[in-house]
Amino acid sequence: MKSLMSFLLGIVLTVLGAALFLMNIHISNFTFFYRYNGTNVTALLLIALCIMFVVYVVYPNIITGGILGILFLLFMISVIMSMKFYVRHITAFEMVLILATFFGGIGLVIRGLVHSKDELDSGSGRGTGSM
C-alpha cells in the first residue's frame, strides 16, 4: 500500500513539474515545414506518409504498419524541429522548484515500482524461508 501511494504521488509530482516547465516555454517562428539544405523534408515525409497509408489500407500487415509508424514518427520530429523554443526568464527558485518536482516525482515513481515488487515477493511467502 505504501508503494502504491509513493507511485501515485510520484505521478502527480512528475505531471506537475512537467506542467510548470511547459508553462515557461515560448514557441516562436513556427513553420509547418522543416528545411534541410534547401530540401523541404516535412513535405517529402508527408507525401511518403500519404502513399504508405494507402499501401497499408491495401496490404495491412506488420511490415507496412511498421513503416507507416516510422514515417509518422519522422513526420512528427520534423514538425517539432521546425519550431523555435525559448525558455522565458525565470528565477533560480522557480528552476529549482520545477526540477525538484519533476525529478522527485520520477524518483518516487521508480521507488514505488521497485518496492511494489519487493512487497509482492514478501507477500507471497517466498522470502520467509518457511514451508
Burial class (CB in 10 A: 0-12, 13-18, 19+), 42: buried
- What pLDDT does residue 26 have? 79
- What pLDDT does residue 103 have? 93
Model confidence at 1, pLDDT cuts 50, 70, 90, reads low
Phi, psi angle pair for 59, to nearest 5°: -120, 80
The dihedral built from the CA positions of residue 74, 75, 81 and 87, taken in this order, carries a sign that is: negative
How far is 23 from 86, CA to CA, in rounded Å? 11
- What pLDDT does residue 131 have? 46
**Grid cell listed for 62:** 506488420
Q: How far is CA 130 from the centre of its chain?
A: 44
Q: Tell me the pLDDT tens digit for each residue of 86-123.
A: 888 888 898 999 999 999 999 998 988 887 666 666 66
pLDDT of 23 over the 70 cut: yes
- Indicate the pTM of the whole model: 0.56
How far is 102 from 83, CA to CA, in rounded Å? 24
The helix, strand and coil proportions of the chain, stated in percent and rounded to the nearest 5, come to: 70, 10, 20
Q: Tell me the pLDDT tens digit for each residue of 37-93.
A: 767 777 888 888 888 889 889 888 998 888 888 988 988 888 777 777 788 888 889
pLDDT of 124 over the 70 cut: no
